[in-house]
């Protein structure tokens, strides 16, 4: 029989077996509606024998797989699927995979989450969110008697490195690399179009309209392990058209291929694998760095410096921020910039523009201080020079008692 509690929820009892004395063993169930309560009671009847859950020794990896395939995978994008797979394969399964679900304690989960201290905010959110959802589901299904993730404390995320535009020296290096490196076209696409990495890797020749000088961004390359797969764009707004600058158009026209062919592909015609991308990216960064080190005659020494110092200094997303800065400096309205960048929320673009305005104001203040300083220095030099001239041109004082005083 269902009973409505003062909080508005429904509470019922279901018999799950009998004890050694023959007395019934019951389990209380809470639900938001009568229908949900009956569903939970029915589930429990089928999952308990002699007062014990049938799946008492259910390992974490088995339930995690069921939970992910039924309750998570069908409702998320390809990019999110990749993030979840990485979280399970690299973190959750090595930590809890063979453990019985019922045996995992709150302190163990907290210790696991604490290991993410100084990780990115998104990593921490994914780890905490996954564990909370998974254990809450297991508790709701009656598989575990308590939810050990309820009181999880989220560790402090690593402070996000502030993205910036390329310096003048970096821009010079990059443009030199674009012109001379085997894979300079990939760097050019990032520099001139401001794409996300996956969007750039997903470009096919059929996406380019050379008559209108536009490129259609409509796919994203997602990595599962090292293998590349066509994935969903980050958001619906990411499906967009971007004008092609003349410099990039000239480069593309020299190497254009078949419409269905990926612009950046392997010998088999497939998108670059993750390992290939990492190798190519490091090569591009090495080349850009070595442009700045022209006095280094031995290439080996230059590359050794890369390994020690670069790691690499620029990521693909730096070029996206640099593109945003160029839009701002060109006076492109935030609403237009939002569409060109594929932002869903206008506020995202507006915040970046506000940050850039702040940076420009700071730079202007520093520049003005330098002007004032130079003016002040110049004034001091001028005053000193004037003092010398005054001293040289000053007429000697006349003794008015002399006979010729005032005669000349």
Give dist(CA 305, CA 288) in Å, integer: 13
Q: What is the pLDDT of residues 169-224, one digit of tens each?
A: 888 889 999 998 999 999 999 999 999 999 999 999 999 999 999 999 999 887 76
Greater model confidence, 407 or 115: 115
- DSSP labels for 220-281? EEEEETTEEEEE--SSGGG-EEEEPPHHHHHHHHHH---TTSBSSB-TTSPBPPHHHHHHHH
H or E segment and range at residue 4 = strand 3-4
Q: Is the pLDDT of residue 381 over 60?
A: no
pLDDT band at 295 (very low <50, low <70, confident <90, very high): very low
Q: Residue 50 has what pLDDT? A: 60
pLDDT band at 78 (very low <50, low <70, confident <90, very high): confident
Q: Residue 308 has what pLDDT? A: 44
Quote the mean pLDDT of the chain: 81
Q: Is the pLDDT of residue 355 over 50?
A: yes
Q: Residue 167 has what pLDDT? A: 83
Helical H runs in 48-167?
A: 60-67, 78-87, 93-96, 106-114, 121-140
Burial class (CB in 10 A: 0-12, 13-18, 19+), 148: buried
């Amino acid at each position: 029989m269902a009973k409505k509690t003062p909080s508005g929820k429904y509470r019922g009892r279901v018999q799950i077996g009998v004890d050694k004395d023959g007395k019934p063993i019951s389990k209380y169930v809470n639900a938001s509606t009568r229908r949900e309560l009956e569903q939970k009671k029915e589930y429990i009847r089928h999952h308990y024998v002699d007062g014990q859950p049938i799946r008492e020794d259910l390992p974490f990896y088995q339930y995690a797989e069921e939970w992910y395939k039924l309750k998570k995978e069908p409702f998320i994008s390809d990019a999110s699927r990749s993030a979840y797979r990485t979280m399970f394969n690299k973190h959750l399964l090595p930590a809890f995979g063979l453990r019985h679900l019922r045996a995992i304690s709150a302190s163990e989960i907290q210790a696991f989450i604490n290991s993410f201290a100084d990780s990115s905010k998104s990593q921490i959110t994914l780890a905490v969110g996954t564990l909370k959802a998974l254990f809450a589901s297991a508790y709701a299904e009656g598989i575990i008697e308590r939810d050990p993730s309820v009181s999880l404390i989220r560790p402090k995320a690593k402070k996000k490195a502030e993205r910036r535009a390329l310096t003048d020296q970096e821009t010079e290096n990059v443009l030199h690399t674009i012109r001379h490196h085997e894979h300079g076209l990939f760097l050019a696409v990032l520099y001139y179009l401001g794409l996300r990495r996956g969007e750039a890797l997903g470009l096919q020749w059929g996406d380019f309209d050379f008559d209108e000088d536009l490129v259609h961004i409509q796919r994203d390359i997602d990595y599962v392990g090292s293998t590349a797969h066509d994935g969903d764009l980050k958001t619906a707004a990411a499906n967009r058209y971007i004008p092609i600058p003349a410099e990039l158009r000239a480069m593309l026209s020299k190497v254009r291929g078949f419409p269905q062919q990926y612009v950046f592909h392997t010998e088999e015609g497939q998108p670059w694998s993750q390992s290939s991308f990492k190798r190519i990216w490091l090569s591009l960064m090495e080349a850009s760095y070595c442009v700045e080190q022209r006095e280094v005659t031995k290439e080996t020494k230059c590359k050794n410096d890369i390994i020690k110092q670069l790691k690499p200094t620029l990521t693909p997303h730096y070029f996206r921020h640099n593109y945003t800065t160029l839009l701002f400096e060109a006076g492109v309205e935030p609403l237009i910039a939002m569409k060109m960048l594929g932002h869903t929320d206008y506020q995202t673009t507006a915040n970046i523009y506000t940050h850039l305005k702040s940076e420009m104001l700071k730079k202007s203040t520093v520049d003005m201080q330098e002007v004032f300083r130079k003016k002040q220095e110049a004034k001091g030099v001028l005053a000193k020079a004037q003092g010398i001239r005054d001293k040289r041109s000053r007429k000697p004082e006349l003794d008015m008692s002399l006979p010729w005083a005032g005669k000349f």
